Amino acid sequence: MTAPKIRIATIFRLALGIFLLCGAALAQTPVLFFSDLTFGPNTGWNNGSSQGAAVTIWGKNFGSTQGSSYVTIGGVQATSYPEWDVIGPARSLERITFFIPTTAATGSQTISVTVNGVTSNTLPFTVDNTTPIYYISIGGSDSNNGRTTSTPWADLYMFDYSHNPKGDSQYIVYVRSGTYSSACSSISAAICTYASGSPTGGPTKQKALVGYPGDTIPVVNTTNLSYGFWYMPWDYSPYNPNNYYTFSKLSMYGGGSPFTNISGDYIRIVGLYMYNYNQSSDSGVVTFQASQGSVVYGNLFSDNGYSSLEHDLYVQTQTIIPRSWVAGDHASQQIDIAWNEVTGYTTSSSGADFFISGHQTTLQYETNNIWVHHNFFHDGVGTYVYIDDNYIDYDIYVYDNLFVNGQGEANGAVMVENTCTSCYFYANSEYHGATAVTYGQLWARGGVGTANIYSQNNIWYGVSNEPPIYQGGTLWTIASDHDLFYNDGTYSAPSTSGLTVTNGMLDVNPQFANVSTESLQLTANSPHATAANMTSSMSSLPSGLLDYVGVTRPNSAWDPGAYQYQSSSSSAPIAPTGLTAVVQ
């Protein structure tokens, strides 16, 4: 009997199947971190009916080209993509912009991305079919209707509800590329979001100002302005906050403060580039005064600062508002600050990058439940995260951040001063490549009140003779558990009053993959195995959290530092061999 003939097509299909099997095994899992919009219509782009709003998502492992990859929203695949795998502005994050298809189901939905057959985690999104879309463009006219790309408005203040024809309702405004510098008529600000009669915004009255999809990011020049976007509702009685505003994919520089005295709730500041703000004032490039439920995601803060009173981000509790104006709590609470990049300063005396503060008053407003995570701080001159002031803070979480190459911050990369009822520092990686700081990488300085600080699974890497932790308050307690301490071989164990070190790795080199860039990943030679132990205090964080690059943290064992160790075998499986084809 003659041997059966194997057709070329059969061999091709077999080889293709094996190739796809191996490719799926080798593919990195795409991961989503956040989106600019959390709401949007499935129709109305360019005042038409062919597609809806443009949405941008940020994450990792999207693939340099789209190929056969796709985004799913509301149960259907998007078909139009102005951007795929564009980088930035912060942390080398990857982004995709897609249009909501008309077939996307309305209501509460999710977004996911599928890359080479591997599907990501999901992000929540609400699809509707009624939100109107507007446009602003250089050369437009404020007398236009703003509803199409050929009839755009000219000035950013048309976004404000007092100028927008929809008033205090829900809408999205897209801004074309170019430089914008005009001001509102009532105050020297690009946009005046002030309330004059009742609170604005709500879950079905959200407002978004977003860079146009696929364009160069538009620039807001505030050099000759006092503010970028102005919030001061406590100037009005009754107190009228501005809620549910989104700002995304804009570039801002110049004078004043881009986002001053934000007192509204559920504000989203996403994917902005804010640079060269050097005003002499006690404030921040972004300042929250009395806000709840707001987020600051994926922004690049670069070369800002004037003095020790100037910060990139200032979270504070507002005590100016009289209680007679409004009932309830005016504290800054439930604010999520993540995936940002902070670098550089223009003077040697600049203030802390992120300053979390509050006030002691007879009304006892407290700043609480603030999350600072997955941020990249590098090449600055001030303290990176500073938690300070009187009788204010509790449940402040600082985790999965990189603190790299601080240029001589005398007070340490992270500082807690005065009272913090419960401050948690989990799984951060700190590498200080400059001269030794006076008070160590984590400085806890006493003043008034008591403090309870928990430091766990962090890597504190300093230079010679630099103390990793300095504790200076007799009423304070610092609990260090499974932290790794190293300072070029001259390490001495922390022994200050009130400090307890448990399961610490003392004077152990973490064997970073690279100490000169963003990559402080662990290697096969890192002592990660001996430190992998999440204790009960970390259980205050939700399960299933991601590390700095999106690797899922196990619920029972976090490696030290911001990266969960990934072996080469787990990231690149071996292709199957020894397969036999039977041909009939």
**Is residue 430 within 8 Å of residue 413, measured between CB atoms?**
yes
The domain at 26-128 falls in which architecture?
Answer: Sandwich (2.60)
The burial of 295, by beta-carbon neighbours within 10 Å (0-12 exposed, 13-18 middle, 19 or more buried), is given as: buried
d(CA 247, CA 238): 26
Q: Which residues are CB-neighbours of 299 under 8 A, at least 6 positions away?
A: 89, 90, 269, 270, 271, 272, 273, 274, 286, 340, 341
Question: Any idea where the domains of the chain sit in the sequence?
Answer: 26-128, 163-333+359-366, 374-570
Measure CA 76 to chain center. 28
Question: Greatest CA span in the chain, whole angstroms?
Answer: 100
**Is residue 244 within 8 Å of residue 161, measured between CB atoms?**
no
The pair of structure tokens assigned to 171 is 């809408």
Residue 245 has a pLDDT of 94
H-helix or E-strand containing 134? Answer: strand 133-136
Closest CA to 411 of 441, 450, 431, 452: 441
For 124, phi then psi, to 5°, come to -75, 150
ω into 152 cis (within 30 of 0): no
Dihedral (C-alpha) 157, 159, 163, 169: value to the nearest 10 degrees? -160
Strands, DSSP E only, in 11-69?
Answer: 31-35, 39-41, 54-60
Instruction: Compute the Cα dihedral for 523, 528, 529, 534 and give only its sign.
Output: negative
* Structure confidence by residue, pLDDT tens digits, 459-469: 988 777 676 77
DSSP assignment string, 68-124: T-EEEETTEE----SEEEEE-SSTT-EEEEEEPPTTSPPEEEEEEEEETTEE---EE
Q: What is the pLDDT along the chain (584 residues), one digit of tens a residue?
A: 443 333 434 333 333 333 333 443 345 899 999 999 999 999 999 999 999 999 999 999 999 999 999 999 999 999 999 999 999 999 999 999 999 999 999 999 999 999 999 999 999 999 999 999 999 999 999 999 999 999 999 999 899 888 899 999 999 999 999 999 888 866 788 887 655 556 788 999 999 999 999 999 999 998 888 778 876 554 455 556 788 999 999 999 887 778 877 878 899 999 999 988 876 555 788 888 878 899 999 999 998 876 666 788 888 776 555 444 444 556 788 999 999 999 877 555 556 688 888 765 545 567 888 999 999 998 877 788 888 765 556 788 999 999 887 765 555 677 777 667 788 899 999 887 665 555 567 777 665 556 688 888 899 887 776 767 766 655 567 888 888 888 776 666 666 667 788 888 888 888 988 877 788 998 888 887 655 565 555 656 766 789 999 998 887 778 889 998 887 534 333 233 333 333 33
d(CA 480, CA 473): 16
* Structure confidence by residue, pLDDT tens digits, 336-379: 999 999 987 755 555 668 888 876 554 556 788 899 999 999 88
Residue 258 has a pLDDT of 80
Residue 250 has a pLDDT of 96
Q: How many CB atoms lie within 10 A of CB 196?
A: 11
Local structure of 387: helix, strand or coil: strand
H-helix or E-strand containing 9? Answer: helix 8-26
d(CA 358, CA 317): 5
Residue 524 has a pLDDT of 86
